[in-house]
């Protein structure tokens, strides 16, 4: 192997070439210095205590404020996601609990105003470890953002809601987490509420591998067994008849043995109930199967009729 060795005959004497080299080195040093200052400032910015107090506003309210009506006259619901959202349950989720607070409830009912406690902060939230102001116990209706577009979509700097779905993990700093399925997104709120009158949505049985938005419009949230193109021509059998016009499909096809009975809010329609004892409340089962047992209702619930 041939080695590169300095040629002893070449002497380094000051020359015009040497001066150019010195200038180049000086420029490089200056640039390095500037870069170090910039990096230092960025790091300092990161290290500054982040006080998470105020949310950054909702996308739907902004669009509505900019003249979009969100209204749907007498016509069928428009295709516009904003119109559908306004007509659906996610545009009207404001709640206050019995003790006059909603800071905990906001996790699902108004995520833009929700501030997790230090223990509940996601590990990914690097700036959150510094300082988290506790949220005000009550968000007034005027400051509420419902389940805003931003909870499920990023909004670009021009205010456009981007179609991909994602999850607003830490609202105050607009940190998003990727979701692998739409179900994962919906289940951030439709499972795990430790509050009275809430029950988890669990898809099981016949629809196990289906996505929430296979059945629900993702903005109006409407879903129907019979006008979905799936069950619009049911086998004519006892159960699928006029006698049972007031019985919801799920009351017969639930596979989990939930209680069944009439729901006054639905005009006496028979549905499934969640909860126990005196604390049961209507909750439509999503664990459905083909089988259905007449005696579920006609022996125990409607005694005397079909013994």
Shortest distance, position 288 Cβ to ligand HEC, whole Å: 8
Shortest distance, position 223 Cβ to ligand HEC, whole Å: 4
Is 307 among the residues that bind ligand HEC (CB under 6 A)?
A: no
Q: What angle do CA 90, 94, 97 make, to 5 degrees?
A: 135
Residue 15 or 278: which CB sits closer to ligand HEC?
Answer: 278
Binding mask 206-225 for ligand HEC (x = CB under 6 A): -x--x-xxxxx-xx-x-xxx
Scanning 6-14, 23-31, 117-125, 178-186 for contacts with ligand HEC by CB under 6 A, the matching segment is 178-186
Sheet of 281-282, strands arranged across: 259-263, 269-274, 281-282
Shortest distance, position 291 Cβ to ligand HEC, whole Å: 5
Identified binder of ligand HEC from the candidate list 195, 227, 257, 279, rule CB under 6 A: 195
Tell the burial category of 177 from Cβ atoms under 10 Å away from its Cβ (0-12, 13-18, 19+). Answer: middle
Identified binder of ligand HEC from the candidate list 226, 227, 279, 300, rule CB under 6 A: 226
The residues near 181 (Cβ < 8 Å, ≥ 6 apart) are: 211
Shortest distance, position 152 Cβ to ligand HEC, whole Å: 3
Identified binder of ligand HEC from the candidate list 21, 54, 129, 231, rule CB under 6 A: 231
**Alpha helices, DSSP H, located in 48-173:** 59-65, 81-87, 106-109, 149-152
Shortest distance, position 73 Cβ to ligand HEC, whole Å: 18
Cα-Cα-Cα-Cα torsion 139, 143, 147, 149, nearest 10 degrees, comes to -150
Shortest distance, position 217 Cβ to ligand HEC, whole Å: 8
Per DSSP, the three-state class of 201 is coil
Is 188 among the residues that bind ligand HEC (CB under 6 A)?
A: yes
Shortest distance, position 166 Cβ to ligand HEC, whole Å: 10
Per DSSP, the three-state class of 39 is helix
Subset of 78-117 contacting ligand HEC (CB under 6 A): 81-82, 85, 89-90, 92-93, 95, 97, 104-105, 107-109, 111
Is 145 among the residues that bind ligand HEC (CB under 6 A)?
A: no
Q: Report the C-alpha gap between 95 and 258 in whole angstroms.
A: 27
Note the maximum CA span of the chain: 118
Scanning 2-10, 17-25, 115-123, 287-295 for contacts with ligand HEC by CB under 6 A, the matching segment is 287-295
Closest of 126, 165, 167, 142 to residue 57, by C-alpha: 142
Is 179 among the residues that bind ligand HEC (CB under 6 A)?
A: no
Q: Which of the 8 DSSP states describes residue 160?
A: P
């Amino acid at each position: 192997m041939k080695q590169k060795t300095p040629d002893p005959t070449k002497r380094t004497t000051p020359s015009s070439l040497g001066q150019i080299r010195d200038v180049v080195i000086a420029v490089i040093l200056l640039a390095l210095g500037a870069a170090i200052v910039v990096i230092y400032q960025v790091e300092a910015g990161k290290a500054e205590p982040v006080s998470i107090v105020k949310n950054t506003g909702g996308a739907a309210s902004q669009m509505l404020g900019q003249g979009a009506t969100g209204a749907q006259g007498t016509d069928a619901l428009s295709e516009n996601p904003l119109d559908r959202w306004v007509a659906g349950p996610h545009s009207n989720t404001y709640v206050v609990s019995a003790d006059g607070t909603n800071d905990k409830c906001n996790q699902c009912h108004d995520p833009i105003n929700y501030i997790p406690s230090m223990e509940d902060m996601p590990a990914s939230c690097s700036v959150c470890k510094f300082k988290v102001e506790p949220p005000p116990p009550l968000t007034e209706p005027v400051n509420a953002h419902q389940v805003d577009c931003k909870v499920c979509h990023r909004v670009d700097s021009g205010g456009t809601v981007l179609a991909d779905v994602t999850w607003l993990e830490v609202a105050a700093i607009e940190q998003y987490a990727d979701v692998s399925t739409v179900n994962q997104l919906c289940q951030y709120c439709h499972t795990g509420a430790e509050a009275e009158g809430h029950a988890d949505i669990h898809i099981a049985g016949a629809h196990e591998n289906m996505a929430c938005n296979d059945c629900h419009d993702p903005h109006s949230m409407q879903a129907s067994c019979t006008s979905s193109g799936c069950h619009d021509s049911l086998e004519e059998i006892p159960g699928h008849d006029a006698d049972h016009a007031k019985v919801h499909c799920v009351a017969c096809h639930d596979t989990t043995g939930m209680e069944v009975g009439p729901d006054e809010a639905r005009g006496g329609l028979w549905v499934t109930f969640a909860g126990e004892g005196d604390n049961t409340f209507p909750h439509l089962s999503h664990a459905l199967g083909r089988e259905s047992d007449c005696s579920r209702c006609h022996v125990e619930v409607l005694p005397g009729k079909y013994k």
